[in-house]
Amino acid sequence: MYDAFAKVGTGGQFDYQRHGKNGQLLDLLANALGVPGAYEQRRQFLPISNINVGLYSQQSGLTLEQTLERAGWFARHFSGNYKPNQPYGLDRRTARFIEIGYNIGERGLYGHDVEPPP
């Protein structure tokens, strides 16, 4: 699970919607402590960041259900967009982009010259 966190978790390598300044763990800590500006928000990248979550999870061998459960857990603990009244605690749009990414992986549409994650 740590590898997924480092890759697609809040401020991770493929989380293009947030750009940290001090490294993922320090930025998360600063954010949790309420330090303003821990992340530069890039909302225009929300779709691709969540597509990355779905694709990465599918390639890692998770089911779609497991993917959505984990994404909801991450949202609850590390993001300001947790929605307790929605399935998995995910905004509908966020969940939909995760599903799209997952389906891209299932259908093999991600590019065959790229090595899938272990």
**Tens of pLDDT, residues 17-28:** 777 777 767 777
* Cα R_g (the chain), whole angstroms: 14
**Tens of pLDDT, residues 77-101:** 877 788 999 999 999 999 999 999 9
Lowest mean pLDDT among 34-43, 99-108, 109-118: 109-118
